[in-house]
């Protein structure tokens, strides 16, 4: 193999509920990958050693000197070893210079630090894992100046200036959606609702977006979803999609001044159904986001950090 096509790093995205490991070449190509439900909260007796060994032993047997770089909740207090939070403008070199090292079976693991900053409202905010995705998006030639959106359980809106992470704000949109869907007065209505077509789901979602933009009293509108069904003013079908639209729409309305200021430099870093929802919501509100695949960005970010590791961090 030439250097460009030989493996450079075992890149690991280790979150709360999932584990993803990628064997990545110098040129960014994914040569192999492993995925499981062994997120940090699912690992029995916190035996992270065994999870990593079982996933990567065949790669390490063939390439024993590979860097192993990890990001995500594995670096949290609940993870393997707590990694620091950087503050201030942050890029790939800053992350590489601040990796937390962990001795494992005669080698050093590196955990990418998180980032702390002021939110757009001036309060404290933190991220862990998203910093790697953002650095990866930039390495994939995303705009060096713009407003980035990373949807998820805790959606992030991040201001990128001159290719570095600046201020950002987090919204608990995904977590609130899950709680309301499973543990609220809306739960029974959602579980009992008949199945509807994808087209009907999409229409209902945009109805929720419109509810958020026309009436910003979110707490009242949440109850009105139930009241509407009980009084016959609202159809029960696709109520979960209306709820999704209402919550995402409320998030976007909270970001309206930033979105209007960003204009054409709105970058959506996401994958799958949630990417489609946020893209539809932004388009419905007359914005034109640039879409970047979050998984590819994460892999590129871990590779970018690996390539910037200082020489002192390369010894095993």
Closest CA to 59 of 23, 107, 11: 23
Q: Are 12 and 310 in contact (CB under 8 A)?
A: no
Look at residue 228 in the predicted model and tell me its pLDDT.
87
Residue 1 has pLDDT above 50, yes or no: no
Look at residue 70 in the predicted model and tell me its pLDDT.
98
Question: Mean of the pLDDT values across residues 294-301?
Answer: 98
Number of other CB atoms surrounding residue 160 within 10 Å: 23
Report residue 242 as tokens. 């209306």
| DSSP H or E segment with residue 264 | none
Question: Mean of the pLDDT values across residues 282-308?
Answer: 97
Closest CA to 161 of 90, 261, 252: 90
Look at residue 233 in the predicted model and tell me its pLDDT.
75
Residue 84 has pLDDT above 70, yes or no: yes
Which residue shows structure tokens 């079976």? 105
8-21 confidence digits (pLDDT tens): 999 999 999 999 99
Look at residue 155 in the predicted model and tell me its pLDDT.
98
The distance in angstroms from the start CA to the end CA of the chain is: 23
Question: Mean of the pLDDT values across residues 220-240?
Answer: 87
Q: Residue 314 to residues 67, 107, 114, 136, 208: CA-CA distances in angstroms?
A: 7, 10, 21, 21, 51
| Higher pLDDT pick, 4 / 68 | 68
d(CA 147, CA 167): 10
| Higher pLDDT pick, 232 / 16 | 16
Number of other CB atoms surrounding residue 243 within 10 Å: 25
Look at residue 2 in the predicted model and tell me its pLDDT.
52
Question: Mean of the pLDDT values across residues 242-260?
Answer: 97
Report residue 73 as tokens. 């909740």
Question: Mean of the pLDDT values across residues 136-142?
Answer: 97
194-218 confidence digits (pLDDT tens): 889 999 999 999 999 999 998 768 9
Residue 278 has pLDDT above 80, yes or no: yes
Question: Mean of the pLDDT values across residues 292-299?
Answer: 98
Question: Mean of the pLDDT values across residues 75-81?
Answer: 97
45-76 confidence digits (pLDDT tens): 999 999 999 999 999 999 999 999 999 999 99
165-178 confidence digits (pLDDT tens): 999 999 999 999 99
Q: Are 308 and 57 in contact (CB under 8 A)?
A: no
Q: pLDDT class for 140, splitting at 50, 70, 90?
A: very high
Question: Mean of the pLDDT values across residues 173-190?
Answer: 96
Q: pLDDT class for 110, splitting at 50, 70, 90?
A: very high
Look at residue 311 in the predicted model and tell me its pLDDT.
66
Share of the chain above pLDDT 90, in %: 88
Question: Mean of the pLDDT values across residues 213-226?
Answer: 89
């Amino acid at each position: 193999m030439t250097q460009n096509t030989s493996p450079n790093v075992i890149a690991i995205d280790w979150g709360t509920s999932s584990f993803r490991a990628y064997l990545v070449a110098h040129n960014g190509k994914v040569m192999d990958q492993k995925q499981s439900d062994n997120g940090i909260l699912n690992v029995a007796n916190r035996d992270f050693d065994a999870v990593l060994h079982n996933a990567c032993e065949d790669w390490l047997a063939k390439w024993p000197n590979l860097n192993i770089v990890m990001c995500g909740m594995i670096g949290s207090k609940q993870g393997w070893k707590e990694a620091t939070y950087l503050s201030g403008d942050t890029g790939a070199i800053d992350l590489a210079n601040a990796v937390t090292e962990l001795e494992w079976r005669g080698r050093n693991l590196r955990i990418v630090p998180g980032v702390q900053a002021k939110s757009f409202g001036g309060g404290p905010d933190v991220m862990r894992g998203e910093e790697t995705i953002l650095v990866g998006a930039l390495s994939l030639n995303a705009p060096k100046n713009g407003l980035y959106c990373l949807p998820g359980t805790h959606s992030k809106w991040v201001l990128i200036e001159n290719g570095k992470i600046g201020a950002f704000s987090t919204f608990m949109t995904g977590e609130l959606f899950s709680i309301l869907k499973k543990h609220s007065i809306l739960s029974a209505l959602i579980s009992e609702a008949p199945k509807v077509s994808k087209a009907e789901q999409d229409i209902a979602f945009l109805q929720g977006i419109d509810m958020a933009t026309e009436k910003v009293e979110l707490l009242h509108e949440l109850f009105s979803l139930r009241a509407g069904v009980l009084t016959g003013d609202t159809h029960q079908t696709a109520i979960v999609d209306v709820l999704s639209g209402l919550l995402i729409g409320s998030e976007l309305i909270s970001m309206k001044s930033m979105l209007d200021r960003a204009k054409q430099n709105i970058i959506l870093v996401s994958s799958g159904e949630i990417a489609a929802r946020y893209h539809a919501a932004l388009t419905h509100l007359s914005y034109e986001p640039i879409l970047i695949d979050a998984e590819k960005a994460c892999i590129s970010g871990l590779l970018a950090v690996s390539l910037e590791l200082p020489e002192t961090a390369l010894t095993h």
